[in-house]
Each structure stands twice: as structure tokens, then as C-alpha cells.
């Protein structure tokens, strides 16, 4: 085992190599102790898992560790991550959970897996995960097998809830295409659409942890080629694609792929006096436009960071460019791609024209995320050094209007901005650039990366 599996937002590593039997049992045991420390009367932790081939065995190892503390495991089986989160807010067959663990490798390659953890309706992340890792590394405790669980049907409760909340939708004259990417969106999507009488065509619906058709990451345009082909040939009104555990979404028309920050702008128009939290990679257009009729807050990247910030500010919702949308307005403040799908369909129900409204926005040029390889030891040091260099940049460096350091370094220039931040999950720097045109954006990119390399 390596400490590197304990990351800022969750625990993630390679099955058997890093997530081996003893390590996973200890994760269950020491996390359950943390639950009892905060909630001494805790009785239940809910556990669900994604489609990866090794997820069921990880559930058994995790359950054995949890049972050593005498907390019971409520077993949801194969579910989407939002269903796991949902269990924290309802009675699960009459039982109240104190914490939940979702076993998922999200959009990582098939050999990966991991754990997304919630304690008392709050993300368990950052320093708490790092401290958990320290305890596990230092411990030589032996944990015997005890894989007995209590089966619960949270998925049914979740489907019923969403169908009830969106029963007003009337979209009988429209049709839609969905790409589940062989992830767990396929465990709930069809029943919801059928019960809401929404015309649909679903591709790659069957959960398959080997992901035989394409990698389950809708933020990469290469993974959207199949759904784009369907859109172009099938006369669909909208297309939707999901990541492996169904907490991220892509929304597409024949002409456009709407990133999370653009979707945030669209959603915000239908919420009175909205407060919207965006991450540092979001377009300046999103912040400027929302501030005309509400309040936009720039904050750190990362699903756990944004969930905590929503609670702190009571924001309407939060969004990441990658497609995490966290609705607190009419929902629970966590990232749910299935719920976000229904909110996107609701805009059509209300007469919203996606292409037309997008074309009304100022047309800036934005690069995709560009990553730079580095090491875990160096990545934050490089960012600190960049902050110092920006205090006295070269004479030919573009004029700086502002420097935002909420998460890495976002340098605001006269006609755009550039971002360099250290990834919290992998040994890379992440960059993104936006400007009034491509030439200007690439100039900002060139100058900032030159400074980075000096």
C-alpha cells in the first residue's frame, strides 16, 4: 500500500496492487471508528458499488472492516454514485444512515477503484482522509471476514423521488439520445424516462466495468463521438452522456457540446436571485453574466470542496467545467448527473432554445485542459514558485490585471485569463486559457508556460 491512494477528495488506487484485502478492511474499520467518534449512536453505514469487476469483492472487504466496530452495513448493490449520496437524506427501509461509502473508480481505467465517502451528510475529505491514511499505514490490526450485510433498495426510493419531482414534464413531441458509457447510469435511467413518458434512445446502457465501447469520461471529446453520430443522424433534440459512476454529465446538440460552466449559466436564469459557485476553470462569461442578476462565487476545484462551499453559502448550486453539477435549489447539494439531466430537460419544457441562447453569449476562445507531468512532491512547489515569478514578470509578459490564488494561480489579463493549478488527484499541473480570440489565448498560454519553465 502507498499513502498516495489517500487523495484530496477520495481514496483511489489500483485493485489488489494498492487496494488489497488488508488495506480495504482497515479503511472500513478506521472510517467506522471516525463515524462513532462523531456520532456515538451510529448504527448504519450504507455502501454501494459501481460496475467495475472488482467492486463486489471490495464491498466484502470493506464490510468486514466496518463490522469490527459493530456498525451494520446497508448494502445497496450496484448503483449510481448519486443513489449512494441519496441514502444519506432518506429513510432506507426505515433505517437512518450515519455515513455512506461509494465504491467507484469513477472515470479511471478499469484496473482502478476507490471510495467516495460521506459522513453526517458532509464529504469526508482532505485532512480527514490524509489522517485516516496515516492510521491505516501505522496499524498492523488483523480483521477477519464478516461479509454479512442488510440489503436495501435505495435505488427504488431514488427513482420514485425523481419521477415525482419531474412529473410535470411534457416533452412528448421531442426525442433524446443518451450514452451511459457502460457505467451505472444505466441502472436507473430507462425506468425514469419511461415513467416520465420521455422519448429516448439509450446506447451502451448495460453496466460493464471493462468499458468495451469507450472510456467513460464525457469531458474528453473523443468519448463523445458515438453519441455525436447519433445526434447528427437521428434528429434528436438533445443528447446526454455520463461518466462511469453517473455524477458527471455532458449535454450536446448537433452543433455544440455545452460544458459545465455554460450549463450553469443556463440553469441560473431560471432561479430567482441565484447564488452560483464555480471553480477556477470556469469561463469569465459565466461569472460576469450571473453577477448581472445574482451572485457568482469562484472557488476551488473538487467535488468535496464545492459541496462544503454550498453548505457554507447556501448557494443555489455549484458547477465544474467537467460536468459536475451540484443542485442545492430543489435538491440536496451533491453532484448528480441524472438529476441534472432532468433539470436540463425542464429547460426545454419551459421553452429554452439551447443553441440560440448559446449563440447570444459573447464568443470567447477557450482551450481544453492541458496537463503537464510533474511529481507529487514538486507540483505544489512549482505553483508557489510561479506566484513569486508573477510578482516581477519579464518585460514582454502580457499586462496583468489581477491574480487569483484561491486554487493555484488564475492570472487575469486585459483580454482573457490563464490558469495553472496543481491537480489534487494526480501528479500533474492543470492549465486552461481563455481570451477574446484564439491568437490571444495561445499567446497567454505561451507566455505563462514560458514563465513556468524559467
What residues are annotated to the active site?
12, 106, 324
Contacts of 383 (CB under 8 A, 6+ apart): 408, 409, 420, 421, 422, 429
Taking a C-beta distance cutoff of 8 angstroms, is the pair 61, 67 a contact? no
CA 201 → CA 156, 173, 224, 256, 297, distances in Å? 22, 14, 15, 19, 37
Alpha carbons 241 and 202: distance in angstroms, whole number: 10
Contacts of 54 (CB under 8 A, 6+ apart): 15, 16, 113, 209
Q: Which one, of 235, 285, 291, lies nearest residue 262 by Cα?
A: 285
Q: Is the dihedral of CA 300, 305, 310, 316 positive or negative?
A: positive
Alpha carbons 171 and 162: distance in angstroms, whole number: 16
Alpha carbons 170 and 172: distance in angstroms, whole number: 6
Tell me the residue length of the chain. 454
User: Hey, what's the torsion of the CAs at 145, 150, 156, 159, to 10 degrees?
Assistant: -60
Residue given cell 443528447 in the structure block:
239
Q: Which one, of 339, 333, 280, 313, lies nearest residue 162 by Cα?
A: 339
Amino acid at each position: 500500500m502507498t499513502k498516495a491512494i489517500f487523495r484530496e477528495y477520495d481514496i483511489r488506487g489500483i485493485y489488489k496492487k494498492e487496494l488489497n484485502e488488508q488495506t480495504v478492511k482497515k479503511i472500513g474499520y478506521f472510517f467506522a471508528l471516525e463515524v462513532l467518534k462523531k456520532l456515538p449512536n451510529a448504527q448504519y453505514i450504507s455502501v454501494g458499488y459501481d460496475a467495475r469487476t472488482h467492486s463486489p469483492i471490495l464491498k466484502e472487504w470493506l464490510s468486514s472492516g466496518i463490522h469490527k466496530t459493530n456498525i451494520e452495513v446497508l448494502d445497496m448493490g450496484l448503483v449510481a454514485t448519486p443513489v449512494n449520496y441519496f441514502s444519506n437524506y432518506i429513510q432506507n427501509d426505515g433505517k437512518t444512515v450515519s455515513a455512506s461509502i461509494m465504491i467507484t473508480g469513477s472515470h479511471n481505467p478499469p484496473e482502478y477503484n476507490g471510495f467516495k465517502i460521506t459522513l453526517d451528510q458532509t464529504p469526508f475529505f482532505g485532512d480527514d482522509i490524509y489522517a485516516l491514511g496515516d492510521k491505516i499505514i501505522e496499524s498492523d490490526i488483523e480483521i477477519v471476514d464478516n461479509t454479512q450485510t442488510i440489503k436495501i433498495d435505495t435505488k427504488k426510493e431514488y427513482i420514485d423521488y425523481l419521477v415525482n419531482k419531474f412529473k410535470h414534464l411534457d416533452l412528448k413531441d421531442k426525442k433524446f439520445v443518451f450514452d451511459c458509457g457502460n457505467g451505472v447510469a444505466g441502472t436507473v435511467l430507462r425506468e425514469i424516462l419511461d415513467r416520465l413518458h420521455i422519448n429516448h434512445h439509450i446506447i451502451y446502457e448495460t453496466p460493464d466495468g471493462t468499458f468495451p465501447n469507450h472510456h467513460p469520461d464525457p469531458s474528453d471529446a473523443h468519448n463523445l463521438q458515438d453519441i455525436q453520430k447519433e445526434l447528427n443522424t437521428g434528429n434528436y433534440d438533445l443528447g446526454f452522456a455520463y461518466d462511469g459512476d453517473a455524477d458527471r454529465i455532458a449535454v450536446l446538440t448537433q452543433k455544440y457540446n455545452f460544458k459545465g460552466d455554460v450549463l450553469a449559466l443556463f440553469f441560473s436564469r431560471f432561479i430567482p436571485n441565484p447564488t452560483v459557485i464555480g471553480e477556477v476553470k470556469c469561463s469569465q462569461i459565466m461569472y460576469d453574466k450571473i453577477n448581472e442578476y445574482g451572485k457568482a462565487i469562484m472557488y476551488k476545484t473538487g467535488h468535496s470542496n464545492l459541496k462544503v462551499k454550498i453548505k457554507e453559502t447556501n448557494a443555489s448550486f455549484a458547477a465544474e467545467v467537467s460536468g459536475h453539477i451540484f443542485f442545492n435549489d430543489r435538491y440536496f447539494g451533491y453532484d448528480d448527473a441524472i438529476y441534472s439531466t432532468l433539470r436540463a430537460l425542464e429547460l426545454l419544457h419551459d421553452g429554452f432554445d439551447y443553441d440560440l441562447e448559446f449563440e447570444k453569449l459573447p464568443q470567447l476562445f477557450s482551450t481544453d485542459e492541458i496537463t503537464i507531468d510533474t511529481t507529487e512532491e514538486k507540483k505544489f512547489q512549482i505553483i508557489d514558485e510561479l506566484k513569486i515569478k508573477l510578482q516581477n514578470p519579464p518585460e514582454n509578459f502580457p499586462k496583468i490585471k489581477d491574480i487569483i490564488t484561491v486554487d493555484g494561480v488564475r492570472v487575469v489579463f486585459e483580454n482573457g485569463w490563464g490558469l495553472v493549478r496543481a491537480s489534487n488527484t494526480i501528479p500533474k499541473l492543470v492549465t486552461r486559457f481563455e481570451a477574446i480570440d484564439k491568437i490571444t489565448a495561445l499567446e497567454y498560454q505561451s507566455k505563462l508556460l514560458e514563465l513556468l519553465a524559467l
